[in-house]
């Protein structure tokens, strides 16, 4: 992969309890995370209102809905809310968008078909870009926030390739139907992910080296990697333990193994933005420190990334 990029790490907070969410954010900032994230689910806290509260309790960590379900939002009014949040946070906003999924309790409230939801995603991305470049449309952003787009189908790849700063790997097709597992909980094989990202880069053309690639992964720190993989294989029956270990959407092993995996996935797949999931941010602090330290040590003096 050409065009070396800085490693960045995100932590997703508790989206159902505001006190816990704020505590998660403060601790994630102290643990060295770059971005604090909150999901956008029906029944959860409103992500932008919640992040406004988080902004008051933090000072450095960047803030991101991860991801905004654009089917639930009006493209015009969301720009005002995002610009307001960027002002409240003194320019720490990042915007991550996805087309969402159709749920029974949202019928009548949001676009339902895949075509309708994708069109809303496209409209929202365009509205945000216009609001950033034309301040009269909204209260005005403090900065140009990074725009991330997540997806698993070719038209989402194409949209991200043309418009986004970051592409977020959602699901990697073909996604097997596994009883008891949501399609986004199905972890992909490494080879399928590599082919998927090749399609993204083909769409991006000259922009390919500019795109940041992001992925989310649960982290299981253990001194018995084989036992942990065997346990995971009971649920993810479509993969061998070795394939689970190599999947870009799973991190299992000792501290050294996990650091090696993150760096190797950057080298082989171009993934440098990792949304890490664990019970507490503190347990992931050694991972972040080790990855960034090794990355800085390996970089030529004139290529050490700056903040």
- CATH number for the domain harbouring residue 158: 3.20.20.30
- In the chain, the DSSP E strands lie at 8-12, 35-38, 62-65, 68-69, 95-98, 147-151, 166-169, 212-221, 251-253, 271-277
**Residues 129, 304, 167: CA angle, nearest 5 degrees:** 30
In a domain, 306, yes or no: no
Distance, first Cα to last Cα, the chain = 21
Q: Give residue 134's pLDDT band: very low, low, confident or very high (50, 70, 90).
A: confident
In a domain, 263, yes or no: yes
**Mean pLDDT for the stretch of residues 140-145:** 94
Asked if pLDDT for residue 109 goes beyond 70, the answer is no
Structure tokens at 153: 């189908």
C-alpha closest to that of 200 among 248, 247, 167 = 167
In a domain, 3, yes or no: no
Q: Can you give the pLDDT at residue 302?
A: 43
Asked if pLDDT for residue 170 goes beyond 80, the answer is yes
The CA distance from 168 to 206, in Å, is 19
In a domain, 179, yes or no: yes
Residues whose CB falls within 8 Å of the CB of residue 24, separated by 6 or more in sequence, listed in order:
11, 13, 14, 36, 281
Residues whose CB falls within 8 Å of the CB of residue 21, separated by 6 or more in sequence, listed in order:
13, 14, 15, 38, 45, 50, 53, 54
In a domain, 76, yes or no: yes
Structure tokens at 210: 């500019």
In a domain, 188, yes or no: yes
Asked if pLDDT for residue 17 goes beyond 80, the answer is yes
**Mean pLDDT for the stretch of residues 230-236:** 95
In a domain, 28, yes or no: yes
The CA distance from 248 to 245, in Å, is 8
Q: Can you give the pLDDT at residue 307?
A: 34
What is the span of the domain harbouring residue 184?
8-299
**Structural domains of the chain, count:** 1
**Mean pLDDT for the stretch of residues 199-215:** 96
Residue 248, SS3 per DSSP: coil
In a domain, 274, yes or no: yes
The CA distance from 258 to 274, in Å, is 12
287: left (phi over 0), alpha (psi -120 to 50) or beta: alpha
140 prior amide bond cis, ω within 30: no
Residues whose CB falls within 8 Å of the CB of residue 221, separated by 6 or more in sequence, listed in order:
253, 254, 255, 258, 278, 283, 287
Q: Can you give the pLDDT at residue 65?
A: 97
Q: Can you give the pLDDT at residue 243?
A: 96
Asked if pLDDT for residue 32 goes beyond 70, the answer is yes
Residues whose CB falls within 8 Å of the CB of residue 298, separated by 6 or more in sequence, listed in order:
none
Whether the CB-CB separation of 256 and 222 falls below 8 Å is answered with no
């Amino acid at each position: 992969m050409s065009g070396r990029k800085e490693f960045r790490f995100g932590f997703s907070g508790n989206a159902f309890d505001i006190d816990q969410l704020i505590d998660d954010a403060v601790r994630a900032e102290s643990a060295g995370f770059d971005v604090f994230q909150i999901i956008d689910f029906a029944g959860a806290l409103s992500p932008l209102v919640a992040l406004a509260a988080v902004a008051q309790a933090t000072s450095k960590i960047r803030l991101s809905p991860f991801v905004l379900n654009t089917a639930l939002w009006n493209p015009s009014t969301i720009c005002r809310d995002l610009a307001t949040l960027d002002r409240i946070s003194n320019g720490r906003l990042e915007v991550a968008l996805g087309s969402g999924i159709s749920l029974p309790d949202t019928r009548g409230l949001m676009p339902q078909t895949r075509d309708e939801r994708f069109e809303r995603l496209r409209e929202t991305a365009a509205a945000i870009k216009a609001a950033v470049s034309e301040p009269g449309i909204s209260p005005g952003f403090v900065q140009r926030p990074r725009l991330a787009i997540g997806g698993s189908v070719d038209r989402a790849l194409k949209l991200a390739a043309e418009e986004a700063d970051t592409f977020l790997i959602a699901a990697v097709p073909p996604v097997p139907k596994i009883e008891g597992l949501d399609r986004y909980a199905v972890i992909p094989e490494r080879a399928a992910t590599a082919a998927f990202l090749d399609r993204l880069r083909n769409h991006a053309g000259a922009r390919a080296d500019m795109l940041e690639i992001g992925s989310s992964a649960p982290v299981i720190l253990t001194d018995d990697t084989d036992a942990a993989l065997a346990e995971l294989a009971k649920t993810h029956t479509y993969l061998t333990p070795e394939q689970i270990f190599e999947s870009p959407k799973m991190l299992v092993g000792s501290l050294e193994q996990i650091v090696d995996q993150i760096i190797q996935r950057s080298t082989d797949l171009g993934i440098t933005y990792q949304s890490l999931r664990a019970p507490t941010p503190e347990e992931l602090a050694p991972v972040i420190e080790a990855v960034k330290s090794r990355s800085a040590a390996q970089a030529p003096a004139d290529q050490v990334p700056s903040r």
